[in-house]
């Protein structure tokens, strides 16, 4: 196998150029984020002393710390731990993923369950770190991007968007041809995903000679979404700036002037161009206001944050060398001239596309604990379509598969420990020869007590010479389902329903989609007296009553926005809620459109810790 050479000075300048471009684009786009009309910016709309803080860069600084903590073999599990410790953002998918992890769930299940924002831009914006630690290895960069994205986007377009960008940015360390780079990115995402379709359509419109504004309108017509953070449309806008831009500044301006998630589109394009051009070819007009400084949002905390892009670059480069050594990547770092083009043996060194077929409804564990290479036991825990939730007195099936990847037999038993008052499997015999697998369907039945989450434990017990040798314990968590009484337009009586998450599925529970008045009622349990923001996230007219008192009344059709921090103002109430049980009722009017309702208890803006608008996991719907 041939070896590609990467000059260390060149490696440094490309990393530094990427971070500079990221800062420039984020500072340009941040002040107009969320505006969905065609814009006409010609320069930064807002300047402060240095760059504006942006989650696009914030989260990658956290990931750098994760790499320094856990090393090059880190996975989504370690990234999830870092998130809980250091990231206190409530935004969209961030808030849902964090709420799930706080209840014991781990990625990818934590990034998929009860998450209406899996298709959004929160992960595509943090692809650069993986490209920078795997220069010229788009497959490895895409692998890391997957591990990152499933923390809060599992099962959605956010995963493919991050894999796409990471592959492009990694290849850009050797390859400079724009069209070739875009095609490299497309090889790492499924052809049928929405992101790939939007990208291919944009390329076709560009080839046909459409103007950039015509291409923008076509993107919105065929691939648009009412949520401004939806990934496919914004990924297309990022590439639109690249395709139609005459130079660096014109490219990032065109991306921003498409509107929508403007800080993300400009920051990602700025990073791509910064990697290709290097810092010395970035225009002084754009560089000078931003400089070498780093600005980080307050909810990112608890670890040493680099003070300058120079420090960030040096630490990134150091990890890149570790990644190359651990993965045995055919690349040499030194003072010789870099290879002139992306070599096939480097570009095709690793193929991560097997990850596309991995179920987001299941978690995968390698045993013995701490193993990174799959050469022992592989344990797969599948929670099914309803996810890892269970209601009071409810039975749930969990599919468990054990695969022996080792070279010798495993004999012993599989044990399941359930909470007190529950029923469930206690022990199954285990006899696995090398490369053999066995599956079980474990049924558990919960007790009468409702909690936020329930710890279970799977034990793989190994026997040697007919006697106990050791045991590997894997904690498994289920979370509390929500209990409701529902009535449709034609119902004269309440019907009992259990929902796996915070979404009330009227159509599924009542088996009707007729127009009219729908009602939902529950007992809300609040363990402590507190200020609470109660959100009725629906596009439909809605009323909410707490203990018979009207607290929400919105007669308008609005956007559907189940976010903790940017809910429709008329569809929320901020109240002082005493401890104890409360009767909560909703009336929702369904028209021709489908009926969506998420009921979300979150904190108010001003909190001591950990941050604003975080989800109250201990508020239960019983």
Comparing C-alpha atoms, which of 44, 519, 489 is closest to residue 287?
A: 44
Q: Are residues 450 and 545 both part of a single domain?
A: no
Distance CA 169, CA 573 (A): 44
* Per-residue model confidence as pLDDT tens digits over 92-119: 999 999 999 999 999 999 999 999 999 9
Neighbour tally for 596: CB within 10 Å:
19
Q: Are residues 449 and 533 both part of a single domain?
A: no
* Per-residue model confidence as pLDDT tens digits over 513-526: 999 999 999 999 99
pLDDT category, 161, cuts 50, 70, 90? very high
Distance CA 376, CA 291 (A): 49
* Per-residue model confidence as pLDDT tens digits over 547-576: 999 999 999 999 999 999 999 999 999 999
* Per-residue model confidence as pLDDT tens digits over 6-60: 999 999 999 999 999 999 999 999 999 999 999 999 999 988 778 888 888 999 9
466 pLDDT higher than 90: no
Q: Are residues 280 and 424 both part of a single domain?
A: no
263 is in an annotated binding site: yes
439 pLDDT higher than 80: yes
Residue 133 neighbours by CB under 8 Å, 6+ apart: 67, 72, 141, 144, 316, 319, 320, 323
Q: Are residues 348 and 444 both part of a single domain?
A: no
pLDDT value for 467: 92
40 is in an annotated binding site: no
611 pLDDT higher than 90: no
pLDDT value for 1: 59
At CA 389, angle to CA 388 and CA 395, rounded to 5?
105
Task: Write out the H or E segment, with its range, that includes residue 404.
Answer: strand 395-404
Quick check: pTM over 0.85? yes
pLDDT value for 339: 83
Neighbour tally for 125: CB within 10 Å:
31
Q: Are residues 617 and 491 both part of a single domain?
A: yes
What secondary structure, in 3-state letters, does 549-579 show?
EEEEEECCCCCCCCCCCCCCHHHEEEEEECC
What secondary structure, in 3-state letters, does 427-461 show?
EEEEEECCCCEEEEEEEEECCCCCCCEEEEEEEEE
**End-to-end alpha-carbon separation of the chain, Å?**
62
Distances (CA, A) of 122 to 235, 297, 470: 12, 15, 42
Q: Residue 128: give the domain boundaries.
A: 4-354
Q: Are residues 516 and 475 both part of a single domain?
A: no
Mean pLDDT along residues 176-196: 97
Q: Are residues 291 and 247 both part of a single domain?
A: yes
Distance CA 451, CA 479 (A): 8
**Please, are residues 228 and 245 in contact by the beta-carbon 8 Å criterion?**
no
pLDDT value for 338: 86
Q: Are residues 233 and 271 both part of a single domain?
A: yes
For the four alpha carbons of 611, 566, 81 and 443, in that order, the dihedral sign comes to positive
DSSP 8-state symbol, 280: G
Percentage, residues of the chain above pLDDT 70? 100
**Please, are residues 23 and 51 in contact by the beta-carbon 8 Å criterion?**
yes
Mean pLDDT along residues 285-302: 91
Q: Are residues 472 and 345 both part of a single domain?
A: no
Tokens found for residue 616? 């109250």
Q: How many domains does the chain have?
A: 3
pLDDT value for 524: 98
Q: Are residues 487 and 598 both part of a single domain?
A: yes
* Per-residue model confidence as pLDDT tens digits over 388-398: 999 999 999 99
* Per-residue model confidence as pLDDT tens digits over 330-379: 999 999 888 877 877 777 889 999 999 999 999 999 999 888 888 999 99
CATH number of the domain encompassing residue 604: 2.60.120.260
pLDDT value for 422: 96
Q: Are residues 494 and 568 both part of a single domain?
A: yes
Tokens found for residue 223? 């691939």
């Amino acid at each position: 196998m041939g070896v590609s050479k990467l000059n260390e000075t060149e490696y440094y300048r490309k990393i530094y150029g990427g971070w500079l471009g990221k800062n420039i684009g984020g500072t340009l786009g941040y002040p107009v984020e969320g505006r969905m009309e065609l814009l006409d910016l010609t320069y930064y709309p807002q300047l402060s002393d240095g760059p504006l803080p942006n989650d696009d860069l914030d989260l990658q600084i956290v990931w750098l710390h994760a790499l320094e903590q856990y090393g090059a073999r880190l996975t989504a599990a370690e990234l999830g731990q870092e998130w809980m410790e250091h990231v206190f953002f409530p935004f969209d998918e961030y808030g849902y993923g964090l709420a799930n992890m706080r209840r014991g769930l781990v990625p990818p299940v934590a990034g998929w369950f009860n998450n209406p924002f899996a298709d959004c831009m929160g992960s595509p914006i943090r692809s650069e770190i993986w490209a920078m630690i795997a220069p010229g290895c788009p497959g490895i960069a895409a692998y890391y991007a997957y591990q990152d994205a499933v923390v809060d986007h599992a099962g959605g377009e956010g995963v493919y968007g991050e894999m796409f960008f990471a592959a492009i940015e990694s290849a850009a360390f050797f390859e400079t041809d724009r069209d070739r780079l875009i095609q490299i990115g497309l090889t790492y995402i499924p052809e049928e995903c929405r992101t790939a379709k939007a990208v291919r359509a944009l390329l076709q419109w560009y080839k046909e000679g459409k103007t950039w504004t015509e291409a923008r309108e076509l993107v919105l017509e065929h691939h648009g979404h009412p949520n401004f953070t939806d990934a496919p449309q914004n990924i297309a806008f990022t590439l639109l700036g690249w395709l139609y831009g005459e130079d660096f500044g014109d490219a990032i301006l065109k991306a921003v002037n498409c509107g929508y998630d403007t800080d993300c589109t400009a920051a990602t394009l700025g990073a791509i161009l910064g990697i290709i051009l290097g810092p010395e070819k970035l225009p002084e007009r754009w560089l000078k206001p931003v400089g070498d400084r780093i600005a980080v949002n307050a909810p990112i905390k608890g670890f040493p944050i680099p003070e300058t892009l120079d420090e960030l670059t040096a630490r990134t480069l150091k990890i890149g060398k570790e990644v190359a050594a651990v993965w045995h990547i055919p690349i040499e770092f030194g003072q010789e001239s870099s290879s002139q083009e992306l070599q096939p043996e480097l570009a095709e060194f690793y193929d991560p596309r097997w990850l596309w077929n991995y179920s987001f409804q299941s978690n995968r564990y390698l045993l013995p604990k701490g193993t990174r290479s799959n050469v022992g036991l592989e344990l797969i825990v599948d929670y099914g379509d309803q996810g890892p939730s269970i209601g009071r007195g409810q039975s749930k099936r969990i599919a468990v598969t054990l695969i022996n990847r080792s070279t010798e037999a495993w004999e012993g038993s599989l044990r399941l420990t359930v909470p007190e008052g529950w029923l469930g499997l206690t022990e199954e015999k285990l006899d696995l020869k090398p490369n053999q697998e066995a599956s079980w369907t474990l049924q558990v039945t919960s007790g009468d007590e409702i909690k936020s989450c329930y710890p279970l434990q799977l034990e793989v017990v190994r026997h040697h010479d007919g006697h106990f040798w050791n045991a590997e314990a894997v904690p498994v968590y289920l979370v509390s389902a929500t209990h409701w009484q529902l009535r449709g337009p034609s119902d004269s009586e309440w019907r009992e329903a259990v929902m796996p998450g915070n979404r009330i599925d009227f159509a599924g529970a009542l088996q009707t989609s007729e127009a009219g008045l729908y009602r939902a009622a529950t007992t809300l349990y609040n363990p402590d007296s507190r200020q609470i923001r109660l959100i009725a996230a629906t596009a439909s007219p809605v009323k909410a009553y707490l203990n018979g008192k009207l607290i929400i009344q919105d007669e308008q059709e609005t956007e559907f926005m189940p976010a903790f921090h940017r809910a429709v103002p008329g569809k929320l109430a901020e109240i002082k809620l005493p401890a104890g049980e409360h009767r909560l009722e909703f009336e929702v009017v369904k028209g021709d459109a489908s009926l969506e309702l998420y009921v979300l208890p979150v904190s108010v803006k001003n909190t001591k810790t950990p941050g604003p608008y975080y989800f109250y996991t201990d508020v239960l719907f019983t």
